[in-house]
A = this chain, B = another copy of it.
Amino acid sequence: MIARRAKHIAAAAVLTLLAACSTTESLIQPADPLPSWNDGATKEAITTFVEAVTTEGGPDYVAPADRIATFDNDGTLWPSHPMYTQLVFALDRIKVLAPQHPEWKTTQPFKDVLDGNLEGLAGSGEKGIAELVMATHAGMSTADFEAIVSDWFTTAKHPHFDRLYTDLAYQPMLELLDYLRANEFTTYIVSGGGVEFMRPMTEEVYGIPAQQVIGSSIVTKFEMQDGRPVLMREAKVDFIDDKDGKPVGINKFIGKRPIAAFGNSDGDREMLEWTAGGDGARLMMLVFHDDAEREFAYGPANGQPDTKFGTFSQALMDEAKSSGWNVISMKDDWGTIFAASE
């Protein structure tokens, strides 16, 4: 992953030098910036939009400072199936912490986790999941939590692909992020996931630094411990960055309206509506999981069972069509899903 970042940086440096010093325009003509995207209307919608907002003097020109692009994470930048990565982390942590909590052997929803009874766990609903999250995400300092998460990501593997979660960013989306940044966009993550769960990996995986990650959060409290200041994580929800929380979070953290937004589920609807509601050229896209062979296919909108991890409802599909949002077919629009194993 470090090598990948170094490559990003070297490429950016070369472009800067060329832009500053070159007298030969053709030298800086890039190759196809989106090689993992199949040619077609979806890819063209991206490049047409980017050309429109970056053409100085054009009717749709947007100054670089206002080129804000927001991306959902789970299901948009990496898989959300068979369950959210953060939930896998929580279940792993329950097992690690169980020896310190003998009572969990007989208390739900912990018992189901320790017994490997995922069906029972699903029955415990949002309340049960919230209990698991609080038991594993609160009660330590922000620094300790960051260390726990960073450590987990170095070994945790996706059960289906048998690869590190951090190696499963969608290659077409990595190219899209790079392409937008090369065109002076600022790229943000706007996810329902926990902000302090994502920040330890977003720079290395997506090239998105901590300050451009917006997510759900629990309350933290400033304390002095042995003369040193710490922020302690409390078992209390601070902000849920999902559904109508996404435009709220965008406004709170960025203070500017995006001109491009990318999601994959009903949780992203309001973010796309908010993005579409501004003046001028806009790009709204939804990743559609219709590739059972290379990734997953789920949800009623493509005739599959619904899911708790990234519902794409028929109502969302209808709104996308009537609003002119672009639906990205993983099957048809992406030539590659993941980068080759390193």
Contacts and interface: CB of A to CB of B under 8 A. Distances in A.
Contacts of A229: 247, 270, 273-274, 277
A222 B199 contact: no
Q: How large is the interface on A (under 10, 10 to 19, 20 to 34, 35 or more residues)?
A: 35 or more
A231 B228 CA distance: 39
Given A20-B21, A195-B252, A229-B270, A222 B247 contact: yes
Nearest to A220: B248
A209 B65 contact: yes
Interface string A211-239: 10100010011101000110100000010
A35 to B, nearest CB: 27
A213 B255 contact: yes
The complex is assembled from copies of this chain, and their number is 2
Nearest to A17: B20
Nearest to A250: B231
Contacts of A252: 195, 217, 220, 238
27 contacts: A16-B20, A20-B20, A21-B21, A65-B203, A65-B209, A142-B251, A195-B252, A210-B254, A210-B255, A211-B253, A211-B256, A217-B252, A220-B248, A220-B251, A220-B252, A221-B248, A222-B244, A224-B273, A228-B277, A229-B247, A229-B270, A229-B274, A229-B277, A231-B247, A231-B248, A231-B251, A231-B274
